Chains A and B, each alone.
Chain A
Amino acid sequence: MILDFSSQLDYLWALLPEVVLSITAMTILLVDVFRRGPRAEQSGTWVPAAALAGIVIAAMVTVFQLGFEAHTTTSMIAVDGFRVTLTLVILVATALAVLFGMDYLAQRGLGIGEYYFLMLMAATGMTLLTASRDLIVIFVAIELMSISVYVLAGLDRKDARSAEAALKYFLMGAFASAFLLYGIALVYGASGATNLGLVASELASGAATRNPLLYAGVALLVIGFGFKISAVPFHMWTPDTYQGAPTPVTGFMAAGVKAAAFASLLRIVGVGLAPAAVVWHDIVWWLAVLTMIIPNVIALQEDDVKRMLAYSSVAHAGYLLVGLAAGSALGFAASVFYLGIYAIMTLGAFAVVSVVGGDLDAGAGIGRFRGLGWSRPLLGVLLVVCLLSLAGFPPTGGFIGKLYLLRAAVGSGEGLLAVILVLSSLVSYYYYLRVIWKMYFEPAPEEAVALPVPGRGFRLAGALTVLIVLAAGIWPGPAVDAADAAGTGVAPSALVGGEQSPAPSPVSGGIQVN
């Protein structure tokens, strides 16, 4: 099927996954409130089931969209490999977050229809974000996603820290949105268009690249996105918000929000700002360097595992930025691959934290992980696989992802970035391996509290997570191919960066994995 957006019906086809998700969300909200009324009791198990069904249908529709051929030079919505791949990543992350969260929410009395409504609405915003090719649509999608997640962060109303998390996230996010909107306005002022395709053709003609408005606009755009992907120095809200929010929400935020915002940043830079590499390359380079070094150093002295994972999530934004700074097709492909694997492994790590640190106000101090590997072997395996992957050990997906990023950085002549990536990963080994050490080589505390036993949904999600992370490390071929196709589609066609370094080798042979 060919979409040329001449008829309005084409937009319906192009937005089918978002339509499915939002209709599911609204149905859940209405049916749930008509069944429960104003009472505060929890909703039935049909609610997560309906949410999962909606996500599965949306995923099927997304795969169906692969058969579409869209003329996307000036359309507002893209239907391409990049969108399909990242939409699937986001839908898998959302489904895992729903499955991982059910037990925790039931314990806390938070298993209400509104939670799943907000989650699906946030997912709608995220998938729309991966598809938007127009700065205005991007802004609408970001707001849809962010506002839902602000509320989710404060879902545990009676917990002061959850309220603090929501307030901090909301204030910072509102600021970031203002920056973003102003950046959009200035880019529009410099190029006369909000459509990324038109922005690019205007910039390619050359006159606008010397316009100070463009520099200011790109700087503000990067600040706005820097907040959303929590890049240093815009990461200040991350540890507090991630720690205070209910843990399943934290996992969802770390995986989904970051993946969606980063996907949009990739598309804006790769499609819209590609002819103006001189404007954004140095900013992204420095963001990547700071975001790799600083959180990894801070996380070394963090004793709360939830906070430590928050810093780790900030550091991963830095690794992802390396692919963007490389600016080549290979770099973009590496970022897409790493986004996918990062979303899954960070969700798995936060899921274990939600079990270990879930029932008490004591939080997720590292002492509570002592002996976990022996007392709860399955939880131990899940956490070990996710932590090793976050650290980047073979045979996990995280290792392949980092290898891919390094390859892209070196291929674009960004050797220094590659060196910093390796060194900061080495630093991060300490705090990841420390948790594993506590889990297996230290005895469980005497006054050990019995941890809740996860239900079937959690176990299914845990098994899937381990499977995906290991499969991406042992047999990465299909995932690498998908990431290649996706990344190449939005990457700047010309090699960017300061000097013209040798062209990267063809992407298909870009990485030796077999």
Chain B
Amino acid sequence: MSQAYLGIAILFAVGILNAMVMLGLSHLISVRRKTTAKAIAYESGMQPLGDTRQRFSVKFYVVAMLFIVFDIETIFFLPWAVIFRDLGLFGLIEMFVFMGVLAVGLAYAWKKGTLEWD
């Protein structure tokens, strides 16, 4: 069994060695000239604006969380839809229960005013 994994181990070893040799060689033989333009943080070619560690409004996180909830709902829906016929009535009821629980969460978020930006 361990023989089968030998190739992967060799691949890892060669990969790491390759990276180390490349970085090491360029470190040893390259020419370095420090200019101000090179010292600036890279931001897609633009001049960076402001500090990196700026704070974001908590609203972004709430929207992101709501997105993830419905994202994951979709993930669960897909395999369910594929084997829907085999699951029959039980699968249908279960999925409605699942949707009901999510709907409770959505109703809560809605009444709490999470869906409004201001």
Chain A interface residues toward B at CB < 8 A: 8, 26, 29-30, 33-34, 37-38
Contacts and interface: CB of A to CB of B under 8 A. Distances in A.
Contact of B111 (A8, A26, A38): A38
Nearest to B100: A26
A194 B70 CA distance: 29
Contacts of A33: 107-108, 111-112
Contact of A29 (B90, B104, B113): B104
11 contacts: A8-B90, A26-B101, A26-B104, A29-B104, A29-B108, A30-B107, A33-B107, A33-B111, A33-B112, A37-B111, A38-B113
A2 B113 CA distance: 47
Nearest to A32: B108
Contacts of A34: 111
A41 B101 CA distance: 25
Nearest to B104: A26
**What class of interface size applies to chain B in its complex with A?**
under 10
B104 A30 contact: yes
A408 B65 CA distance: 49
Interface secondary structure of B, over-half rule: helix
Contacts of A37: 111-113
A34 B90 CA distance: 31
B91 to A, nearest CB: 9
Contacts of B107: 30, 33
Interface string B87-105: 0001000000000010010
A261 to B, nearest CB: 24
Nearest to B97: A19
Interface of B: 90, 101, 104, 107-108, 111-113
A494 B52 CA distance: 61
Closest 10 CB pairs of A and B: A38-B113, A33-B111, A26-B104, A8-B90, A33-B108, A38-B112, A29-B108, A30-B104, A34-B111, A33-B112
Nearest to A34: B111
A26 B112 CA distance: 15
A34 B104 CA distance: 11
Contacts of A29: 104, 108
Contacts of B104: 26, 29-30
B19 to A, nearest CB: 27
A29 B111 CA distance: 11
A208 to B, nearest CB: 15
B92 to A, nearest CB: 12
Contacts of A26: 101, 104
A37 B114 CA distance: 11
A26 B108 CA distance: 10
Nearest to B110: A33
Given A33-B111, A38-B112, 17 more contacts: A8-B90, A26-B101, A26-B104, A29-B104, A29-B108, A30-B104, A30-B107, A30-B108, A33-B107, A33-B108, A33-B112, A34-B111, A37-B111, A37-B112, A37-B113, A38-B111, A38-B113
Nearest to B88: A8
A34 B107 CA distance: 9
A81 B113 CA distance: 45
B54 to A, nearest CB: 20
A34 B111 CA distance: 7
Contacts of A30: 104, 107-108
A36 to B, nearest CB: 8
Contacts of B108: 29-30, 33
A119 to B, nearest CB: 16
Nearest to A36: B111
B6 to A, nearest CB: 19
Nearest to B101: A26
Contacts of A8: 90
A507 B111 CA distance: 56
A187 B108 CA distance: 39
Contacts of B111: 33-34, 37-38
A435 B16 CA distance: 60
Nearest to B87: A8
A26 B103 CA distance: 10
Contacts of A38: 111-113
Nearest to B112: A38
Nearest to A114: B108
Nearest to B94: A8
A34 B113 CA distance: 11
A26 B113 CA distance: 18
A38 B90 CA distance: 37
B80 to A, nearest CB: 15
A473 to B, nearest CB: 43
A34 B112 CA distance: 9
Nearest to A8: B90
Nearest to A35: B111
Contacts of B101: 26
